[in-house]
Structure 1
């Protein structure tokens, strides 16, 4: 029985580590790539309104989703809106507030890139301008507060914790 419990713990930790692997550790800080994408359950009309705002007053670079661009797909409003939302997110602070768009968008660590359409991530935007936009957001589409933020998640405790669990699990398994 102890071997089954130890095996379960080891397997769980291995899966947990696989989830951490896409992250990059530097100086004890784990950074995770993030993208701002349209929610799967968002209705087309609010998505279109948010997309128009992002590409207009929001100042997102929407040239890749225009005709002839690598992300042009007029039949897929979710991918189109996702590209615009993500560009806005990268340019305006990379915070939860810069990825809301009237509750039609959310952050993800799953890369939304597809075919020739490559979505830059929060890690590749390290030289992006991170400042509050000067545009007024009276229509509720844009952020509502200061956007100075970071996508770095401080997880200095994770590796010692994982190591300790692995040692305990191995000892339990070896003694069982």
Structure 2
């Protein structure tokens, strides 16, 4: 019987991801029925520390990101965790520069995610708090170059759908 659902799993995955919206999830619905997905710009796990530090310095300097929480004594100051501190700076830059895919590149050291990167008292603001239903701010082209190939959001959705599909198949086969 599980084999009968296989051709429909990709469609079901897309539909369920669009229609879900429980607490703790990064997907919600407005009163008008439109779907909002919370997004954060974070440092890639496989990025070199030196590249992350350079991009972090740029975001907090010429990029104009609000980096006060990652300064000494701030709620997101983790001197031995460059990944978290870079993620905070990248996300701040992304939120203040139009929520465009190109605002979350940083020399290919960053990507968009729908997984909340907040940890403890270090809270990351999401894109849904910036997009209040009115038109978004126009992107400013002060990033470190365009994203080549697939956009970060495209890769995030593909990864999400692939992983979800895998687990649904495992559940159908074993359940």
TM-score where L is the length of structure 1: 0.67
4+ residue stretches of structure 1 with deviation over 6 A?
6-10
Deviates more, 1:117-126 or 1:14-23: 14-23
Deviation at 1:103, TM superposition (A): 0.4
Partner of 1:24: 28
Gaps of 5+ in 1: 146-150, 152-176
Deviation at 1:7, TM superposition (A): 7.7
**Given the superposition, is the C-alpha separation of residues 57 and 15 from structure 1 closer, same or farther in structure 2, using an over 3 Å criterion?**
closer
Q: SS state of the match for residue 101, structure 2?
A: coil
For CA contacts below 8 A with separation 6 or more, give which structure has more relative contact order: 1
Pick the structure with more helix per residue: 2
Partner of 1:52: 57
For these two proteins, the number of residue pairs brought into alignment is: 138
Task: List per-residue Cα deviations over 1:10-66 (Å, max 9, x = no partner).
Answer: 9x9589636732311222321100000000000001100100000000000000000
Q: SS state of the match for residue 28, structure 1?
A: coil
Which of 66, 75, 88 aligns to 2:71? It is 66
Partner of 1:77: 82
Report the structure number with the largest CA radius of gyration. Answer: 1
**Within the alignment, does 1:95 sit opposite 2:100 as a pair?**
yes
Please give the alpha-carbon distance, in whole angstroms, between the structure 1 residues aligned to 2:15 and 2:107: 33
- Retained in 1: the 8 A contact 2:56–2:89? yes
Deviation at 1:133, TM superposition (A): 4.0
- Retained in 2: the 8 A contact 1:91–1:129? no
Deviation at 1:125, TM superposition (A): 1.4
Task: List per-residue Cα deviations over 1:102-158 (Å, max 9, x = no partner).
Answer: 100000000000010000000011369824448xx5xxx53559xxxxx9xxxxxxx
- Retained in 2: the 8 A contact 1:46–1:104? yes
TM-score where L is the length of structure 2: 0.67
Q: Any residues of structure 2 matched to 1:1-20 within 5 Å, and which?
A: 1=1, 4=2, 13=12, 17=16, 20=20
